[in-house]
């Protein structure tokens, strides 16, 4: 497991064991993933962290990832049926989407709630009912209860709404008349009624969103301080925005990763297939005109609805184009970058790629040309699927995998297994004392969760002696000076360029070796 996954697993373990949760604004984000994992722990009979497994936690993002595919069923009349189907297929085979749909972090649930908020918000613009306003508010609140960076998606959504409206005016050649038309509509009795209902619907959505966020951030109102901290945390985010970080990267970092990536001898990765189709989808979405609405009655109404499901809504596609562009620019400008942060932009690109693929097919002159392009689209998807298999299995923890960012080494599993094997030859068994003396040690708390007495020090304690020590190389000379030569030493990788030294008392090591021989 990645160190971030291990941190979240341990925090969820605290919730499982104590039944309480306290929001920590320092890098731990919202609690929805902890509460979402609880049922899987209960169904597995787990009452404490040592009784859980990777499956307990990783099944949750898997289901949210599948949910992203299924949500496209509800988007068919917005994207168009064929575009939604192709976008669903691309979501299912995108290496980045597949890889992080098995990561116990907030990103995939955040994208699920974001897309659900967009879909329900779009439904509201068509139906203007309380139901869709409140449901959209709930999903916006779940976004905040999942991860504080939701404000970036909110900004992109708001900007996309404004740009979509402005673009419609530009396309219709009445940019100067838009404010006048709005004012004229608002001055009429009907306009005032619509504005009145709109204000109340938006207020209801706001109350629903704030209520849902407060519910989770306060641990169901048992710790009200979490509500305030969930907003005060943005001051900390702003203070770190200008500071140098190990995770600072140039603006083109995500593009370089998606277009072509190869590190050392081995395979190469590319999702350029999606990016090219997405670019075509943006052009098509911005160039097409909104079709005039026909009066729906009798068979004409049925035909209009069927045609809408097939062709989609130009306004919705235009919104997605602006939303994806704005979100991509926002994340490109922010220096702090980790690969999973790009997933929101990538998901928008996948939706647009479905639109672009259909736009190409519809402009081809005959079925032979469509057959050729269809074969190329299938080949592109198979190539993505092959990369997804490599990403999730063969190179899951390999530095040659662009998405395995600062990922834990498989040595961590070997190290934890070795400590548990050695404990079987100690009189205290799983209660054997283990001292970890290192500044960087995650995900060891997860892998040593079945050991009852594990202590952690960032500096060398006065008495470092213990049956087993795990020490960072930087602190090794000081530890050696205090404990002498009565320990066997071996080295393990924690993650790329980070090592740990395992110390085992010589007598205990000899007892362990005798059973091995």
- pTM of whole model > 0.75? yes
- Which residues make beta-bridge pairs with 437? 457, 471
CA distance 224 to 21: 11
SS3 of the chain: helix, strand, coil, percent, to 5: 65, 5, 25
CA distance 277 to 373: 12
Angle at 33 between CA 28 and CA 36, to 5 degrees: 155
φ, ψ at 33 (rounded to 5°):
-70, -25
Start-to-end CA distance of the chain, whole Å, equals 31
pLDDT digits 0-9 by tens, 280-296? 999 999 988 655 555 54
Helix (H) or strand (E) segment spanning residue 255: helix 253-259
Cα dist. 491→75, 186, 208, 470 in Å?
Answer: 52, 73, 53, 10
Sheet strands side by side (includes 487-495): 454-457, 434-437, 468-471, 498-505, 487-495
Whether the pLDDT of residue 303 is over 50: the answer is no
Q: By CB neighbour count within 10 A (0-12 exposed, 13-18 middle, 19+ buried), where does 468 fall?
A: buried
Percent pLDDT > 70 in the chain is 90
CA distance 484 to 385: 54
pLDDT digits 0-9 by tens, 71-129? 999 999 999 999 999 999 999 999 999 999 999 999 999 999 999 999 999 999 998 89
For residue 294, what is the DSSP state? P
CA distance 168 to 161: 11
Confidence of residue 178 (pLDDT cuts 50, 70, 90): low
Whether the pLDDT of residue 448 is over 50: the answer is yes
Percent pLDDT > 90 in the chain is 75
φ, ψ at 426 (rounded to 5°):
-110, 150
Q: Are 170 and 177 in contact (CB under 8 A)?
A: no
Q: How many residues does the chain have?
A: 517
CA distance 94 to 104: 18
Q: What does pLDDT average to over the chain?
A: 89
Helix (H) or strand (E) segment spanning residue 455: strand 454-457
Whether the pLDDT of residue 187 is over 50: the answer is no
Confidence (pLDDT) at 501: 96
Secondary structure in 3-state letters for 332-390: HHCCECCHHHHHHHHHHHHHHHHHHHHHHHHCCCCHHHHHHHHHHHHHHHHHHHHHHHH
Structural tokens at position 424: 């079987």
Q: Tell me: cis bond preceding 423? Omega within 30 of 0 counts.
A: no
Q: Are 269 and 391 in contact (CB under 8 A)?
A: yes
State whether residue 499 is helix, strand or coil.
strand
CA distance 22 to 19: 11
pLDDT digits 0-9 by tens, 234-274? 877 776 656 567 788 899 999 999 999 998 888 999 999 99
pLDDT digits 0-9 by tens, 36-78? 999 999 999 999 999 999 999 999 999 999 999 999 999 999 9
φ, ψ at 217 (rounded to 5°):
-65, -25
Confidence (pLDDT) at 230: 87
Confidence (pLDDT) at 238: 72
Angle at 185 between CA 180 and CA 190, to 5 degrees: 170
State whether residue 243 is helix, strand or coil.
coil
CA distance 416 to 425: 15
Q: Are 163 and 178 in contact (CB under 8 A)?
A: no
CA distance 260 to 434: 44
Confidence (pLDDT) at 139: 98
Q: Are 342 and 310 in contact (CB under 8 A)?
A: no
- Taking residue 386's Cβ as centre, other Cβ atoms within 10 Å add up to 13
């Amino acid at each position: 497991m990645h160190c971030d996954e291990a941190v979240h697993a341990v925090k969820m373990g605290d919730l499982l064991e104590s039944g309480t949760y306290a929001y920590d604004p320092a890098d731990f984000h919202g609690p929805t993933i902890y509460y979402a994992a609880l049922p899987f722990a209960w169904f597995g009979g787990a009452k404490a962290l040592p009784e859980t497994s990777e499956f307990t936690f990783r099944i949750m993002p898997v289901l949210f990832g599948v949910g992203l595919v299924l949500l496209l069923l509800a988007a068919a009349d917005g994207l168009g049926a064929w575009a939604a189907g192709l976008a669903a297929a691309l979501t299912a085979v995108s290496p980045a989407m597949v890889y992080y749909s098995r990561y116990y972090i907030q990103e995939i649930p955040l994208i699920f709630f974001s897309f659900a908020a967009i879909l329900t918000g779009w439904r509201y613009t068509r139906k203007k009912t309380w139901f869709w306003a409140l449901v959209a508010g709930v999903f916006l609140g779940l976004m905040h209860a999942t991860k504080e960076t939701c404000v970036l998606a909110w900004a992109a959504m708001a900007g996309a709404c404004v740009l979509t409206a402005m673009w419609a005016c530009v396309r219709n050649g009445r940019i100067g008349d838009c404010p006048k038309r709005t004012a004229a509509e608002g001055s009429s009795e009907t306009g005032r009624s619509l504005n009145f209902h709109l204000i109340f619907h938006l207020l209801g959505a706001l109350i629903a969103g704030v209520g849902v966020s407060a519910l989770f951030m306060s641990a169901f109102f048992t710790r009200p301080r979490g509500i305030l901290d969930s907003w005060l945390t943005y001051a900390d985010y702003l203070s770190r925005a200008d500071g140098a970080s190990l995770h600072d990267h140039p603006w083109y970092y995500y593009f370089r990763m998606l277009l072509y990536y190869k590190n050392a001898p081995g395979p190469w990765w590319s999702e350029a297939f999606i990016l090219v189709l997405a670019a075509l989808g943006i052009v098509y979405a911005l160039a097409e005109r909104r079709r005039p609405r026909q009066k729906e009655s009798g068979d004409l109404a049925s035909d209009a609805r069927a045609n809408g499901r097939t062709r989609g809504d130009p306004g919705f596609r235009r919104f997605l184009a602006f939303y994806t562009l704005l979100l991509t620019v926002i994340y490109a400008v922010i220096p702090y970058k980790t690969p999973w942060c790009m997933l929101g932009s990538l998901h928008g690109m996948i939706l647009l790629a479905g639109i672009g693929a259909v736009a190409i097919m519809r402009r081809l002159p005959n079925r032979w040309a469509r057959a050729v392009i269809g074969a190329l689209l299938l080949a592109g998807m198979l190539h993505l699927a092959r990369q997804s298999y490599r990403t999730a299995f063969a190179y899951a923890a390999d530095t040659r995998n662009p998405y395995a960012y600062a990922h834990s080494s498989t040595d961590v599993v070997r190290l934890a297994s070795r400590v548990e094997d050695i404990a079987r030859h100690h009189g205290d068994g799983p209660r054997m004392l283990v001292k970890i003396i290192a500044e960087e040690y995650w995900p060891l708390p997860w892998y040593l969760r079945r050991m009852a007495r594990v202590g952690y020090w960032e500096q060398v304690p006065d008495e470092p002696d213990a049956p087993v020590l795990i020490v960072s190389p930087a602190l090794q000379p000081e530890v050696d000076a205090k404990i002498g030569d009565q320990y066997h030493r071996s080295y393990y990788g924690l993650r790329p360029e980070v090592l740990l030294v395992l110390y085992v008392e010589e007598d205990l090591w000899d007892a362990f070796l005798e059973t091995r021989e």
